[in-house]
Structure 1
């Protein structure tokens, strides 16, 4: 067992006389093949050593002391006796470990067994993973078919088993049973979820990709535009090694603008082309993915930043330390030109004419830009107005469906008083003066203080199952949801405890870096304020919850819709209560649920108590799913994401907007409205008119127009809509592109539930959109 014995051993020819602990001799035993690559003689002392070495781990996770030497010796003797009785010719480390663990369980030591057991994949499962099949092969549409993905999947399998074994059993069971879902379980014990970065930090301190400066070269602050762009790219790539989810840049163009001074339109287009291609061709994220990235884009300098000092080139330009006074308001022209350049690059697409999936362009629709600065426009006739810049984003939406619109006009979004952004798969983060006593210091970058917005982790609740349990009793349903939220907080506590240990071990070095201050020479401000990271509780299947509970979907009955709103407010108030009681910030959100919407539906069909209730209360092909349920879990059924109306509902776009916009102020952790477009060519002006109506007249905080596309891999040709073959050459070697949950991606990587949703979607004729 020692050294994690992976053995399949040699047999009778290798048997030797072994020394016992008490000095006697016993009949020969097989040699043992160890997992660290050695052939070892049998020695039961090795069992004792491993027990003494490994069981103290139970103290950290369970509060149980490790085994004594005497008890370890007794277990080793018992294991040896059992092996001898088996009369095996081949002996492996895993087999020895399995026998020892059985004895530990028989002796009532499940905690010791849990830290002694092995995690990982069978040989069969490992081979399946190598060929792109088996374990979670369609769990994440952003992952590619390559060797790095195979390694990631094997690591994921091991890490998920490890994390479920080490957390309290009742919490692990709630996840495994499908009552709730722990997102990014493979990274639960090693990293936070996602982060939105303040580029000023790196333009002041420079770049230290490894976070410590030992195994990577340390770069000083960027002095030129090309270097600033490349530093921004490397920040995204480096951050992916420390986080489980997406990476974003808040106020991207404003903070880059100091490097755009005196650049021509052509030069800016080249810079933006470099940035976009780097982000789409840098296959450095987890498992060889492109970096899951986003950039918040404003067409000018927001009023909040107009009088704030520029931070760039290693300086805070506030008139001290030999600097001139230079504020972001002086860079309005550079931001507008940079915005135009980025849209030009994205409109062109790549060399095949495909859209760029990343970085996701988060177009910020803000009160500051609803009226033109006529004096500036008159003085700069060669620079596009706000309306013209926004018009480019709707050209991009009409051509590819690429942009996401971050609507900051509604009062609940802060209306320019604080800082708010959408990121990752539609998670919302914010900072404001009321909740952050260092807000002004961060605005002025005083002593390196800056904005650090992100999430520790995400949980999702199986809301339809809560309804099945409640059996039409309002209070029971609400109590069940609150119970799951309480249990989610217990998971958050486990996460925090584990992560505190890793922070003490400096295992999250990029996020925890404190680089040298270029002005004082002292250690600077920490990159990520871990105390400011939020904990997110997401909802899945609110429509199906209401449908079972009341007998009708949200859009079929005013009473059902009102009940859905009531439940969400109850959950929001409970989240606020839990935040106060636990001293953490808990955000309620619609989680993207690329996999979880399917997983919950399949889990309910597998559960004898809920199967009959669930099969008439979910979306997709239930009959096919029931036939194949015993052979695979990747099946064409799903619950609706978050508080959405089902994608296949036969209602107009305006009706969908009117229903879904109600929930945006409630789910402060993030939400998205999808407008699925049919095959016709949209009119950019029509899209702009609709978008501005949504922004100014509804509570919708985040929305996107989605176009489906067909890509011919032979011709490199892109066609509108979902085609069975290439309309140019007739080839069947094609792929389809669409928005899966909150990002554009190849449909080939989608799971069966999401592919079924793609078929079910009710699409609007883009030539006939009416406000």
Structure 2
């Protein structure tokens, strides 16, 4: 609510005039408008604004706008109220508030929601400028800078706007903590995330603004340096159109045509340029580094060996003046580039810190479980698959940087289709069964290419569903399905709004249709919006089961089986909803960096669920309750467990944890991750590799990471293993800690209190005891 001055100030003229009978009525002061002008009072301005702005009610609510006669009546009413107030100061926002009061009193809620203002109070704005207040720890990837302050103010306004404009019952479910609408600030303006096919840009070139008017248009890259820089700028440009992470599928294979003839030193320089550009390009949302990932295979996957190269503006299929050139001929280049990238990441930056981005998604594929003996003999200077994988485990042992994308389990469909993990552990795939154009995309016919991503993500408060069900199985399933059905309603709103923006060309980079370099005709659209999935995520499955059955998923076989039953019920219902609504719904473990805390806090605040929740959540519940009583805010050290995970604090062996969590990977087809938290000792890369290959070959685990905690001295630039209270070199307390928060490596200083408490609670594995 706007705060207005209501006291006379020295120098202000009296705002009254005398009538013929000697009585007085107030006159109207000038109006200070938000557009930056001082204007005379004119009641007709209210009429004009009402008639203009309430037209939006038809688009968002299906309610017609106001008539002129109604607008005149409301304007008169508002003017009369303002005259009675005898104000010495009048602003546009105050006039708007008074008009909105009149609208509410007359029962016009939809018009009021359209006419109201959104944003931050002056106090809240100042707090945001100081790095405090609104969502100051909502995203650990955000930095402490002026752009972040600007983004937070915009976020606050956009979130309020989007909640006001969507149906009230859906907004209430979010605000009450029954479910969570992720990236609410971008709900009405952007899709969520995207995994890109680099061949598109190596054929068409680069048009960063998507339309070619406000930025320079580059033709297809003709050499390695330009190809690397184009890849970087694709990631950066896409951040302006998407709310979440950006990734490159099959990165090195598609880059390989540009690496022909390069020495190891030259490849290391190219990979160094790529990594530093990604980590130093502070151009993403709120001035942060680009949230990025690259899928890395140690050789050319068999699916791509006989497919034509797409590079330098050509499809090298032997037609239109090109030679036939296939990716299988670039095995050497892919292996050497893989090695070069690992060497760069092993070295770290100038301080010796790890690179957080791009996230290296190491693809463990059936194609590379056996060596190509003939190739190895013919190329003794090129590392084998095993040696290349070993470099990734050296990197895991040193920094915990890599993520392992296990495509060996049958459900991943390796070799038949394509699949990748991206962003904060979301999984996307394409296969010939579901995609009639799959073969055309493999061959890049008529510019057809792979476009994998998500429209948006919802998360369900699964523990609250259990509190409502009160140990009744059917009521629990009914509540979860109800929340999933309501999520569909949110998806419909999102799609409707986004269709409007697409018509207005407000997502230009993703919707670009660049000129074909060979025909001069308009090319294929960059993102196939119809192929984007809708993601429904789960949070707190362990706490849901623990309340419902009395035991955590790892404490009882019955609880474990019940968790599996719940997830299958949800998966089948997701498939049913997909068929009924003609969309693809993916069930996922959402990262829940903030949501795992937000749901727990929401339940503590709810009079009906508080007593049930405080005995069922993780963290320091007593401290959280005291802080709530003291009015210290809602960034509290409590949380629910992410997705289907065993609680981080569970005192069980890593083998037991894997055996429980691996079961859920085939069910949550939208993405999942297994975390292995390492202690402070120095892991043996050989031990990590043996552990990883055991996981890959003998479990359903589709995605996992080994996490190292690191201390960085900001005075000395010294990097040490583990969580230290001070710098072990100079004793300085000016330090920061790095660890993996949900699905990426980042500074602990940016974490919320719930995730900081989880960091303390984690049961870590002794690196010396990594035998399977």
Q: TM-score, normalised by structure 1?
A: 0.98
User: SS at 1:296's partner residue?
Assistant: strand
In structure 1, what is the Cα distance between the partners aligned to 2:93 and 2:740?
A: 44
What are the ranges of 5 or more consecutive residues in structure 2 without an aligned counterpart? Answer: 18-23
Question: What is the distance in 1 between the residues matched to 2:504 and 2:13?
Answer: 44
> How far does the alpha carbon of each residue in 1:391-434 deviate from its partner, in whole angstroms, 9 at most, with x for none?
00000000000000000000000022100000000000000000
SS in 2 for 1:658: helix
**Partner of 2:714 in structure 1?**
713
Q: Using the alignment, how far apart are the partners of 1:57 and 1:490 within structure 2?
A: 20
Q: Distance between the aligned counterparts of 2:152 and 2:48, measured in 1?
A: 32
Structure 1 CA distance, aligned partners of 2:67 and 2:618?
55
Conservation of the 8 A alpha-carbon contact between 1:9 and 1:92: no
Q: Secondary structure at the match of 1:601?
A: helix
Deviation at 1:41, TM superposition (A): 1.1
Match of 1:652 in 2: 653
Structure 1 residues 441 and 5: CA distance shift in structure 2, 3 A: farther
1:497-508 correspondence to structure 2 within 5 Å = 497-508=496-507
Q: Which residue of 1 aligns with 2:450?
A: 451
1:244 correspondence with 2:229: no
Deviations 1:207-260 (A, max 9, x none): 000000000000000000000000000000000000000000000000000000
Contact 1:426 1:742 in 2 (8 A): yes
The CA distance in 1 between the partners of 2:250 and 2:550, in whole Å, is: 45
State the alpha-carbon separation in 2 of the partners of residues 716 and 274 from structure 1: 21
Structure 1 segments of 4+ aligned residues over 6 angstroms from their partners: 4-12, 15-18
> What is the CA–CA distance in structure 2 between the aligned matches of 1:118 and 1:8, rounded to whole Å?
20
Match of 2:611 in 1: 612
Secondary structure class of the residue paired with 2:191: coil
Distance 2:461 2:341 in 1: 40
Q: 1:243-289: per-residue Cα shift (whole Å, max 9, x none)? A: 00000000000000000000000000000000000000000000000
What residue number does 2:553 align with?
554
Aligned ranges 1:515-664 → 2 under 5 Å: 515-629=514-628, 630-664=631-665
Q: Which residue of 2 aligns with 1:95?
A: 94
Distance in 2 separating the partners of 1:605 and 1:245: 29
Matched, 1:210 2:209: yes
Within 1, Cα distance between the matches of 2:637 and 2:444? Answer: 50
Counterpart of 2:759? 758
Residues 7 and 92 of structure 1 are in contact (CA less than 8 Å); yes or no, is this contact kept in structure 2? no
The answer on whether the counterparts of 2:26 and 2:84 sit within 8 Å (CA) in structure 1 is: no
Distance 1:8-1:450 versus aligned 2 partners, 3 A rule? farther
Aligned counterparts of 2:494 and 2:414: Cα–Cα separation in 1 = 34
1:467, 1:15 → 2: CA distance? 63
Q: C-alpha root-mean-square deviation of aligned residues, in Å?
A: 1.5
Moved more, 167-176 or 77-86: 77-86
TM-aligned CA distance change 1:5 to 1:711, over 3 Å: closer
Aligned to 1:701: 702
CA contact (8 A) 2:309 2:327 kept: yes
Inter-partner Cα distance in structure 1 for 2:14 and 2:596 = 55
Runs of 5+ unmatched residues, structure 1: 19-24
Q: Deviations over 1:558-580 (max 9, x none)?
A: 00000000000000000000000
Name whichever of 664-673 and 69-78 sits farther off: 69-78
Shift of 1:10: 8.4
Q: Deviations over 1:34-57 (max 9, x none)?
A: 111111111111111110110101
- Distance in 2 separating the partners of 1:106 and 1:631: 35
Residues 516 and 501 of structure 1: CA distance in aligned 2, closer, same or farther (over 3 Å): same
Q: CA deviation at 1:464?
A: 0.1
Give distance in 1, aligned partners of 2:497 and 2:742: 30
**Whole-angstrom CA distance in 2 between matches of 1:522 and 1:14:** 67
Instruction: Decide which moves more: 77-86 or 164-173.
Output: 77-86
Per-residue CA distance 1:570-597 (angstroms, 9 max, x = gap): 0000000000000000000000000000
- Contact 1:8–1:33 (Cα < 8 Å) also in 2: no
Displacement of 1:372 in angstroms is 0.3
Task: Kindly state the Cα deviation for residue 487 of structure 1 after the two structures are TM-superposed.
Answer: 0.1
SS at match of 2:27: strand
Residue 13 of structure 1: how far off its partner (Å) = 3.7
CA distance in 2, matches of 1:498, 1:406: 34
